[in-house]
């Protein structure tokens, strides 16, 4: 997968809530091209993002209530955060090629800035994020894509709130977040927020209602796993694993996420007896890991 952008390329906002950089940038297409999901899903995401960043500001909030928030949800390691980055890159490329805007800003909210106990002090942070920090980032009018991982912690379901938390606090906190989201939608029509979550049950109903789009990113099927395996193997200088082996391995790996599939290859590479690089990776090396993990699961 692509390199993280070097530290110096990221800038921080003055509140310490998020880091941002300018897109498009070299290498970032991989966050899109090398994440294998249903092509139709990618088309939907792209068309929504492009609509939001190009046209949303023309519409009245009453006439066409677009909030500029989409949710990607699904099991861990299925490519949600990667796709969010990739989507930002592809849209940035489109916008710059069409002369719409030479630069798109991409930002990621620091997960530590918004702890899961979103009450008291951290509630204040969340409101500041939505009402100060993000509006400031959008102020210059560039298209902005922001990723907020684990949105659950931000807008906890009021009907499910329990577990030792004072329900009145949760109520207040979540209502304040909803107000913040509405405020952001009204002052930053050039901003697209991509939220991610592992599960939707604990997201507040009123928050779910505000999403323009919720897309499930599920575990890959055998064909998807085969594509991910092939892509991972392409990263290596030399392999002796044919298409048939890949198909059989993929079938045996059903139920794993894209992240886990790539990790199997990594394990096969680093745990074999003779770890000398150019010896090509063989099907046997990979089967050893698959079988090992099967035994552990049983
Ligand atoms: N569908 C996929 N196709 C190819 N690679 C994938 C896929 N899903 C995950 N990966 C690999 O796993 C890495 C981690 O994925 P990512 O962090 O985007 O998952 P996530 O869904 O955001 O996980 P989490 O819910 O744990 O935050 C990716 O950078 C990629 O290498
Ligand atoms: Mg993620």
Q: For residues 68 and 10, is the Cβ–Cβ distance under 8 A?
A: no
Residue 177 CA to ligand 2 center (angstroms) comes to 21
Residue 12 CA to ligand 1 center (angstroms) comes to 25
Residue ranges with CB less than 5 Å from ion ligand 2? 80-81
Ligand 1: nearest atom to the Cα of 36: 3
pTM greater than the 0.85 cutoff: yes
Q: What single string gives the DSSP state of each residue in 74-134?
A: -STTSSHHHHHHHHHHHHHHHHHHTTS-S-EEEEEE-GGGS-SS-STHHHHHHHHIIIIIH
In tens, the pLDDT along 49-78 reads 999 999 888 888 778 878 999 999 999 999
Q: Catalogue all structural domains in the chain, each as residue range(s) with its CATH number.
A: 7-216 (3.40.50.300), 222-297 (1.10.8)
Cis peptide leading into residue 24 (ω within 30°)? yes
Whether ligand 1 lies within 6 angstroms of the CB of 37 is answered as yes
Residue 261 CA to ligand 1 center (angstroms) comes to 10
Whether ligand 1 lies within 6 angstroms of the CB of 35 is answered as yes
The most confident of the ranges 92-101, 144-153, 220-229 is 220-229
Residue 81 CA to ligand 1 center (angstroms) comes to 7
Q: What single string gives the DSSP state of each residue in 211-255?
A: -SEEEE-----HHHHHHHHHHHHHTSS-B---HHHHHHHHHHTTT
Residue 74 CA to ligand 2 center (angstroms) comes to 10
Q: For residues 87 and 117, is the Cβ–Cβ distance under 8 A?
A: no
In tens, the pLDDT along 265-283 reads 999 998 887 666 667 899 9
Rounded distance, CA 89 to CA 39, Å?
A: 17
Residue 80 CA to ligand 2 center (angstroms) comes to 5
Of residues 59, 93, 74, the one with CA closest to residue 190: 59
Pocket residue to mutate for ligand 1, from 81, 84, 197, 234, most atoms within 8 A of Cβ: 81
Label the pairing between strands 144-148 and 191-197. Answer: parallel
> Encoding tokens for residue 16?
């310490």
Protein residue with least CA distance to atom 18, ligand 1: 79
Mean pLDDT, to the nearest integer, of 144-157? 82
> Encoding tokens for residue 219?
């575990």
In tens, the pLDDT along 250-269 reads 999 999 999 999 999 999 99
Q: Which ligand is nearest to the CA of 32?
A: 1
Whether ligand 1 lies within 6 angstroms of the CB of 77 is answered as yes
Backbone angles phi, psi at 4, to 5 degrees: -60, 145
Protein residue with least CA distance to atom 12, ligand 1: 259
Tokens 């500041």 label which residue?
Answer: 128
Backbone angles phi, psi at 186, to 5 degrees: -80, -30
- Residue-level pLDDT at 206: 87
By CB atoms closer than 10 A (0-12, 13-18, 19+), residue 176 is: middle
Rounded distance, CA 30 to CA 70, Å?
A: 21
- Residue-level pLDDT at 50: 95
Pocket residue to mutate for ligand 1, from 2, 33, 39, 77, most atoms within 8 A of Cβ: 77
Is residue 2 predicted with pLDDT exceeding 60? no
3-state secondary structure 53-78: HHHHHHCCCCCCCCCCEEEEECCCCC
- Residue-level pLDDT at 260: 97
Ligand 1: nearest atom to the Cα of 31: 29
Q: For residues 37 and 231, is the Cβ–Cβ distance under 8 A?
A: no
Q: Which ligand is nearest to the CA of 221?
A: 1
Whether ligand 1 lies within 6 angstroms of the CB of 150 is answered as no
Which residues on adjacent β-strands are paired with residue 146? 107, 193
Whether ligand 1 lies within 6 angstroms of the CB of 81 is answered as yes
Whether ligand 1 lies within 6 angstroms of the CB of 152 is answered as no
Protein residue with least CA distance to atom 24, ligand 1: 76
Mean pLDDT, to the nearest integer, of 83-95? 97
Percent with pLDDT over 90 in the chain: 62
Lowest mean pLDDT among 21-25, 156-160, 172-176, 284-288: 156-160
In tens, the pLDDT along 125-148 reads 888 899 999 999 999 999 999 999
């Amino acid at each position: 997968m692509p390199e993280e952008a070097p530290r110096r390329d990221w800038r921080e906002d003055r509140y310490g809530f998020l880091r941002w950089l300018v897109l498009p940038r070299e290498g970032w297409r991989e966050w899109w091209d090398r994440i294998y999901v249903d092509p139709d899903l990618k088309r939907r995401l792209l068309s929504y993002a492009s609509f939001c960043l190009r046209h949303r500001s023309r519409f009245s909030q009453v006439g066409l209530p677009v909030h500029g928030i989409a949710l990607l949800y699904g099991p861990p390691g299925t490519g949600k955060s990667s796709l969010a980055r990739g989507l930002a890159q592809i849209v940035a490329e489109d916008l710059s090629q069409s002369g719409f805007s030479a630069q798109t800003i991409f930002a990621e909210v620091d997960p530590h800035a918004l702890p899961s106990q979103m009450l008291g002090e951290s509630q204040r942070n969340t409101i500041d994020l939505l009402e100060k920090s993000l509006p400031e980032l959008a102020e210059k009018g560039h298209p902005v894509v922001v990723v907020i991982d684990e949105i659950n912690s931000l807008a906890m379901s009021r009907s499910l709130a329990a577990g030792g938390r004072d329900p009145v606090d949760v109520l207040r906190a979540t209502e304040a977040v909803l107000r913040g989201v509405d405020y952001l939608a009204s002052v930053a029509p050039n901003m697209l927020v991509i939220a991610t979550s592992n599960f939707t049950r604990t997201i507040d109903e009123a928050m779910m209602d505000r999403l323009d789009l919720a897309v499930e990113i599920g575990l890959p099927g055998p064909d998807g796993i085969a594509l991910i395996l092939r892509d991972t193997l392409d990263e290596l200088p030399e392999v002796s694993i044919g298409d048939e082996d890949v198909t059989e391995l993929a079938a045996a790996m059903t139920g794993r996420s894209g992240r886990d599939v790539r990790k199997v290859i990594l394990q096969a590479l680093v745990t074999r007896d003779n770890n000398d690089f150019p010896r090509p990776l063989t099907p046997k090396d990979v089967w050893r890991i698959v079988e090992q993990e099967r035994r552990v699961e049983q």
